[in-house]
Amino acid sequence: MCGTVLMGAVLFTEVKAQNAGSPASANDTVRGATTSVDAELRKGIDLTRQGRFKEAIPFLLKAQSRTHTDYVAGFNLALCYLGVGDFKQAIANLNELHDGGYNTAAVNNLLSQAYVGNGQSERAFQALEEASRQTPKDEKLYAFVADACTDHYVYDLGLRVVDLGLRQLPDSARLHYERAVFLARLDRFEEAEPEFVMASKLAPGSDLSYLALIQEKLYEDKLSDALSLAHEGIKAGHRDYQMLSLLGTVLMHAGAVPGQPEFAEARVALETSVALCPAYSTSQIALGKLYLMEGHLQEAVLHLEAGRRLEPRNPAVYTSLARAYRQLGDRTKAEDSLAALSSLLREKTLKANPESP
1-134 and 239-346 in the same fold = yes
| Predicted pLDDT at 354 | 55
Quote the mean pLDDT of the chain. 86
| Tens-digit pLDDT profile for residues 135-149 | 999 999 999 999 999
Domain boundaries, the chain: 1-134, 159-167+175-237, 239-346
DSSP state of 104: -
Are 2 and 276 a contacting pair, CB within 8 Å? yes
**Nearest residue to 201 via CA among 236, 177, 235:** 177
Distances (CA, A) of 261 to 226, 265, 268, 324: 18, 6, 11, 24
CATH 1.25.40.10 is right for the domain spanning 1-134: yes
Predicted confidence band at 9 (pLDDT cuts at 50, 70, 90)?
very low
38 confidence band (pLDDT: 50, 70, 90): confident
Angle (deg, nearest 10), helices 87-99 and 70-83: 160
pLDDT tens sequence across 248-301: 999 999 999 999 999 999 999 999 999 999 988 999 999 999 999 999 999 999
Mark 238-277 as b/e (b = at least 16 C-beta within 10 Å): bbbbbbbbbbbbbbbeeebeeeeebbeebbebbbbbbebb
- pLDDT of 330: 96
Q: How confident is the model at residue 350 (pLDDT cuts 50, 70, 90)?
A: low
Quote the strand ranges of 16-55, DSSP E: none
Top mean pLDDT of 6-20, 224-238, 309-323 is at 224-238
Which region among 39-48, 104-113, 318-327, 331-340 has the lowest average model confidence (pLDDT)?
39-48
The mean-pLDDT minimum among 36-40, 207-211, 231-235, 284-288 falls in 36-40
CATH for 239-346?
A: 1.25.40.10
pLDDT grade for 2, boundaries at 50, 70 and 90: low
Is a pLDDT exceeding 70 seen at residue 316? yes
- Over residues 34-59, the mean pLDDT reads 81
Quick one: 326 exposed, middle or buried, by C-beta within 10 A (0-12, 13-18, 19+)? Answer: middle
Indicate if the pLDDT at residue 19 is higher than 50: no
Question: How many residues does this entry show for the chain?
Answer: 357
pLDDT at 6: 46
Residue 194 has pLDDT above 90, yes or no: yes
Contact between 317 and 338 under an 8 Å Cβ cutoff? The reply is: no
Q: What is the pLDDT of residue 137?
A: 96
**What pLDDT is stored for residue 116 in this prediction?**
95
The confidence score (pLDDT) of residue 21 equals: 38
pLDDT at 345: 84
The pLDDT-based confidence of 188 (bands split at 50, 70, 90) is very high
Tell me the mean pLDDT in the region 57-81: 82
The predicted model scores a pTM of 0.79
Mean pLDDT computed over 140-159 = 93
Mean predicted confidence (pLDDT) in 186-190:
90
pLDDT exceeds 90 at position 235: yes
